[in-house]
Amino acid sequence: MNRLLRFAFAAAILSVCALTPAFAAGDVTPSQYSLGDQTLSINAGMFLPFFFIDSSTGNFGGSNLSIGGVGSIDWAAYLAPRVRIGASIGGTFTFDPNWTALLMVPIVAKVSYLIQFYPWEVPLTFAAGMNILKYADQSTIDLLIKPGTGILWTYNSSWTFGINLNYWWDMQFAKTASQSRIGNFLEISLSAFYHY
């Protein structure tokens, strides 16, 4: 358990560090955004289940889940020309070998740092919040941590399009430690951002 927590903590710290300007040395283009600018985005794509980690032993196990779909709507506001904060609500679906659906509804707060080289942007994102899961007749609310990145192309001052890669750590804490799991998933999605 301690080894697993250390791994999750180290990964979270590295994700936060990636959001700082010190890690964006190649970022030389002046930003077109300012305090108060906002974005609304829609995202849709593939959801890849990787594996589960048993929290009590640290053992890895297969997910036995199919490739699924993911979608979300995000809102964000700029705190600085390269920093935005916001929220996201989405949904995913995937199936087990018996075609029983695993449904997830993540609701997260997120912060992004943008590395810009016009007309391209690379957002470094960290999100955390809750993930509502339903599988067969069982449901639960888990802690979700989502570090991610992507590449976006600026079409004009109002629209940006791109692709996202977000890694999901779904931390399911059960009353019995032997039943606690950490799900590891990858989201690959296309995005359309509207800037206003």
- Residue written as token pair 């300007």: 21
Taking 90 as the threshold, does the pLDDT of residue 168 lie above it?
yes
Taking 50 as the threshold, does the pLDDT of residue 21 lie above it?
no
pLDDT value of residue 151: 95
DSSP run (H or E) holding 189: strand 181-195
3-class SS at 23?
helix
Taking 50 as the threshold, does the pLDDT of residue 25 lie above it?
no
Which domains are present in the chain? Answer: 2-24+38-195 (2.40.160.20)
pLDDT value of residue 7: 58
pLDDT band with cut points at 50, 70 and 90 for residue 60:
confident
pLDDT digits (tens, 9 = 90+) for 112-166: 999 988 889 999 999 999 999 999 888 889 999 999 999 999 998 889 999 999 9
